[in-house]
Chains A and B, each alone.
Chain A
Amino acid sequence: MQVFKLYFKLLRSVATSLLLYSVIFVGITVMQTVNRSDDTTGFMQEKIDTAIVNYNEDSPLVQGLIEYLSEYCDFADLGDEEDELQDALFFRQVEYILTIPYGFGEEFIAGLNVGVEKKTVPDAVYATTVDEAINTYLNTARMYLETIPDITEEELVTYVNSDLKVQAQIEIYGKADSNNHSFYMYYTNFAAYIIMSGCLIGVSLIMLSFHNTNIRRRNLVSPITLKSLNIQLMEGNLIFVLGYDLLLIVLGYILNADKTINTNVLMHWLNIIVFSVSALSISYLAAMLVKSKQANEALSVILPLGLSFISGAFVPQFLLGDSVLHFASFAPVYWFVKANDTIASISTLNITNAKPILYYMVIQLGFAVAFFALSMVISKNRMQREY
């Protein structure tokens, strides 16, 4: 077991890097968990500080609109001096300035194409809410105008107000476990990056040492068989990777406030182990292709970051473009994230809804087999060339 023992001695040289990665991972996870803690049971409408300049105060339509908008806006009367309004906007006294032009109500009733004017601060997040409210009110009013040509302005306001008072009721299902699901989905998705970096830092570096021509020759002239050497190396790799998985699983359990271990959590853990096997295979292949330790260090930063990003480990897959996801589907990280997302989306796992998850895991194992096979072919070719 000399080679096996040597494996862990060599691993010591990258222990600092691995520890650093793990600490950063824990730090980011803690920060994200705090930020993401979602105890929302209800919803409260934000109101935007809005200055209103109304040149058509007498119009019932305008009065109705302002009344409706008061649900979305905190109105302030700052007069109509252009400079003062601009200053108020600049100093964020208000975020939105709504100007209703002269004769707006009459012209709207007459069917003319008129509009209100607005000014907002750049990148005003909530401005869209006000825009939406104005559009909803005026579009509803226009619909009545087109449907009932002889309608009076007062009638129109009554109809619109009565329609817009109707609100949909929403009930949230599966709320009980959502925190647990959300934590593990985020945690395991991000773990893809850490597992892959860990494998490339640890496994590739050690394999590179053994692939060094001079060391390989020294091992080959010793009485240890090639088979025994490879088996001991593989044992070392598996124990390292499974140990790293265990560390991540324990960290996840400690960091998550919800200590429930249900089938979903177990599936997340299984997915981590399956993915780490494919990450191990990638590391094997990388060690075959990369020529130097410096190149491997660069690869251990770029490859996990790149693949994790395009596969949706950092940002949800639904936010990524189809072409990006299509490209990402040629890497196991994509299927790992997909499996995590699917596990998190299911409240109660059973044989039927677990099928796609198992399918994604099989794909990851398929990648592992392919990468291992490719590594073996390269290794065999190289040995034949040198022998």
Chain B
Amino acid sequence: MIVDVKNLVKRYDKLVALDHLNLFVEEGEIFGLLGPNGSGKTTAINCILSLLKYDKGTIEIFGKPMSQDAYDIKRNIGIIMQNVAVFDELTVYENISYFCSLYIKDKSEVKRLTQEAIEFVSLEDFTKFHPKKLSGGLLRRLNIACGIAHKPKLIILDEPTVAVDPQSRNKILEGIKKLNADGATIIYTSHYMEEVEQLCSRISIIDKGKVLATGTKDELKAMISLGEKITVEAYNLQEEQLDDLSKLTNVSSLEYSDNCLEIKSKKGKNNLIDVLDYLQKNEINFGKIYTQMPTLNDVFLEITGKELRD
């Protein structure tokens, strides 16, 4: 096990930021920490990195207790913070080279790794640029390069795609997959469920400092009762008809407005066929139909009663 967090408690006066948080990260996986803003993701990361003192619990990384002076552990960790942490006075190359040199003593090795990191984030054309001359996306890529240049075994990314354009976001996500493929274990925190769903092999959903559920995306989706969402463009539905539809097998709830019927059904077979049968038998005109499998947002909604972005 690469990271093992047990019963972590962090309080700010009366506010409990982390409430007996338990996490574990296996070697070689991309572990996602998904939760809304203020759920405790960054606090958890800061505690794991010993940047924050915690009130209770234990943290082990690479099987050893993590502390401020655990330099042998720190040597193998790469961190990409939510906010860009680079020197404005240095060029792209100098920034990456400096942060790499904090981990690697050999000059020629630093040079080689710096070059590799630049190529990895596709900043070859910007090596002599100062950070202020870079766009938001390029700046994020520089931030990542500074965190991964020394080829760490464990990489922690704390919301690295906040305020990043879609093109740069895709590049970042692809890069993370490649880092993982090259052997690095990744901890990825985000409140973007699509990113976590696309990237992570295992996910913990966190809210109010507590882990609500952990598993693969399929395991998480299997935890909830929602089977699928059926949306039908149907015209002039009457109250009785809506009542009949709600009584169909597996229908858990429905909403109808602006000629749009949205049915949430429980897990089960033939849910869509049952709905279409009813519409045909009752000669109800309908247009577009589409179904949607549950998302992590639905998982979060069912567990907490609120949306991820609330």
Contacts and interface: CB of A to CB of B under 8 A. Distances in A.
Task: Judge: A and B partners, yes or no.
Answer: yes
A219 B86 CA distance: 11
A225 B71 contact: yes
B146 A223 contact: no
A311 to B, nearest CB: 32
Interface residues of A, number: 22
Contacts of A13: 89
For the residues of B in contact with A, the DSSP-based class is loop
B49 interface: yes
A295 interface: no
A350 B101 CA distance: 52
A222 B99 contact: yes
Interface in B97-116: 98-99, 101-103
Contacts, number: 63
A221 B87 contact: no
Nearest to A293: B88
Contacts of A6: 87, 90, 98
B49 A218 contact: no
A2 B98 contact: yes
B76 to A, nearest CB: 9
B89 A10 contact: yes
B99 A218 contact: yes
Contacts of B51: 217, 220-221, 387
A217 B74 contact: no
B171 interface: no
Contact of A9 (B81, B89, B103): B89
A219 B81 CA distance: 12
A223 B71 contact: yes
Given A2-B98, A9-B89, A387-B52, A222 B81 contact: no
A12 interface: yes
Given A10-B90, A12-B89, A13-B89, A221 B83 contact: no
Contacts of A9: 89-90, 94, 98
Given A2-B98, A2-B102, A387-B53, A218 B74 contact: no
B6 interface: no
Contacts of B71: 223, 225
Interface string B52-82: 1100000000000000110110110101010
Given A2-B101, A10-B89, A214-B85, A221 B77 contact: yes
A123 to B, nearest CB: 51
A9 B93 CA distance: 12
A10 B87 contact: yes
Contacts of B84: 214
Contacts of B98: 2, 6, 9
A12 B88 CA distance: 12
Contacts of A221: 49-51, 74, 77, 79
20 contacts: A6-B87, A6-B98, A9-B94, A12-B89, A214-B84, A217-B85, A218-B81, A218-B99, A218-B146, A220-B51, A220-B68, A221-B49, A221-B50, A221-B74, A221-B79, A222-B103, A223-B72, A223-B74, A223-B103, A224-B102
Given A217-B51, A220-B51, A387-B51, 10 more contacts: A6-B90, A9-B94, A13-B89, A214-B84, A215-B87, A218-B85, A218-B99, A221-B51, A225-B69, A387-B52
